[in-house]
Amino acid sequence: MNLATKTLTAALFVVAGAAFAETEATDPIVIGHQDLMKSIAGASKVLGGMASGSTAYDAAAAEAAKALLIKDAADIAVKFKEPGSDPASGAKPEIWTNWEDFVVKANALGTAATALDVASADSIKAGMGAVGGACKDCHTTYRLSTN
């Protein structure tokens, strides 16, 4: 590939990625999956912000985010029970053929969230690796990489 082709390929890739990301799910079941993940991401962001020092430590907000993360992790096995059908879904069909393993990975997030000590920014920082690891472990296996 010459440089011009490479540049064009990269540009098309970016455009295709943007178009894909703009596709909104319409199946309520899939919207339910994605809304739960957005809530999980929101709670992680609050905790991650305090861990990195980009936001000030706030004990009440940290407790609330931890509680939400635990609740949402338990909700994964409930909300994902039905596959739904939507081209905008980033869920791999293997979730429903390996359901027990998927639930093990959901529970691992619950365990990491429960173990999180939110007494200080430093203690949150110490526990966030395990939380992020649980996200990554499930996404690697059960989330489409294009999503």
Distances (CA, A) of 73 to 48, 111, 125: 17, 9, 19
Piece of the chain touching ligand HEC by CB under 6 A; list 4-12, 28-36, 52-60, 121-129:
28-36
End-to-end CA distance of the chain: 27
Tell me how many helices (H) and strands (E) the chain has: 6, 0
Minimum CB separation from ligand HEC for residue 39, in Å?
Answer: 9
Whichever of 46 and 142 has its CB closer to ligand HEC, that residue is 142
- Determine the Cα–Cα distance for residues 140 and 132; give it in Å rounded to an integer: 12
Piece of the chain touching ligand HEC by CB under 6 A; list 9-17, 51-59, 102-110, 115-123:
102-110
Q: Which residues bind ligand HEC (CB under 6 A)?
A: 30, 33-34, 37-38, 40-41, 44, 76, 89-91, 102, 105-106, 109, 131, 134-135, 138-139, 142-143, 147
Q: Which residues are known binding-site members?
A: 135, 138-139
